[in-house]
Amino acid sequence: MGKIEWAMWANEQALAAGLIYATGGIVGVAGQFRGWQFAAFGIAAGVFVCLLEYPRSKRGKGTSVERTGQYCFTVCVKAFGPLTRNYYVRAFLHAALCVPGGFMLATVLGCVCLAIASLIYLSAAIHGEHWEPILPRTEPPKRIGESIKEPPQNPPPRPPPELRRKKVDNLETAAYDNPMSVTTNE
């Protein structure tokens, strides 16, 4: 079990927090709660956090598992360069975004979850992690071996001649099937 990359857990937590923040905001706006303006902010912040956190970072060690369809998000997030690469920025951003949620009950849960995600990102940043985009590897197109164009030079390996002959009337002793019909070979 390798050393932990905190950013992976922070990412899951932040994504969940974004969803909860947005849901709380929707409830607040739809129910026309007092302080619904904070709820409206919650929706916007929640959606933004979800979009930011959807693309997973490439892991420092080991294979990275992409989320479905994350490539376009990766490209967008990558475009912001150091702002999205650095986890200190993310920690601070999440901390700032979560504050208005604390003013209204419907978004309080989203606020606390996002605050926790912010703390985990802070821990990740202190450990020197950063966000790396997962990009598809450009492999050189596989070249079909040239040998396919040429006929084989050598016959396929066969057992010595006296054992090679499979008797037509004694197929049961053969351990494998003949792909073509057997002709007796004198």
Partner 1 sequence: MSNWIINHGLSAFIVVVWMGINIFLFVHFYLFYDKGPQFEYTRELLGSALPWARAPAAVLNFNCMLILLPVCRNLLSLLRGSFMCCGRTMRKQLDKNLTFHKLVAYMIALMTAVHTVAHLLNVEWYSNSLEGRYGPLAGNLSMLDDSSELNTTYLNPVRSNTTTPTIFVFTTIAGLTGVVITLALILIITSSMEVIRRSYFEVFWYTHHLFIIFFAGLVFHGAGRIVRSQQVTDPPHDTSFCDEQPENWGKIPECPIPQFAGGFPQTWMWVIGPMIIYLCERLLRFIRYMQPVSYRKIVIRPSKVLELQLVKPGFKMEVGQYVFLNCPAISQLEWHPFTMTSAPEEDFFSVHIRSVGDWTEKLISMVENLPEGGQGPKMGVDGPFGTASEDVFDYEVSMLVGCGIGVTPFASILKSIWYKFKDSDPKLRTKRIYFYWLCRETHAFEWFADLLQVLEREMEERGLRDFLTYKLYLTGWDQSHADHAMVHFDKDTDIITGLKQKTHYGRPNWEREFEQVRQENPSSVVGTFLCGPQALAKDLENKCVKYSDVDPRRTKFYFNKENF
What is the smallest separation between the CB atom of 137 and partner 1, expressed in angstroms? 20
**Nearest distance from residue 112's CB to partner 1, in Å?**
6
CB of 45 to partner 1, least distance (A): 17
Q: Which is nearer to partner 1, 36 or 77 (CB)?
A: 36
Q: Determine whether 146 is exposed, middle or buried from the number of CB atoms within 10 Å of its CB (0-12, 13-18, 19+).
A: exposed
Give the count of beta carbons closer than 10 Å to the beta carbon of residue 123.
Answer: 17
| Cβ at position 141, least distance to partner 1 in Å | 24
Closest CB to partner 1 among 138 and 176? 176
64, 40 Cβ separation under 8 angstroms: no
Residue keyed to tokens 């821990």 = 123
Nearer to partner 1, 143 or 158 (CB): 158
Closest to partner 1 by CB, 16 vs 49, is 16
Binding site for partner 1 (CB under 8 A): 1-2, 4-5, 8-9, 12-13, 16-17, 20, 23-24, 27-28, 31, 33-34, 56, 59, 62, 65, 103-106, 108-109, 112-113, 116, 157-160, 163, 172, 175-177
Yes or no: say if 79 and 72 are a contact pair by the CB < 8 Å rule.
Answer: no
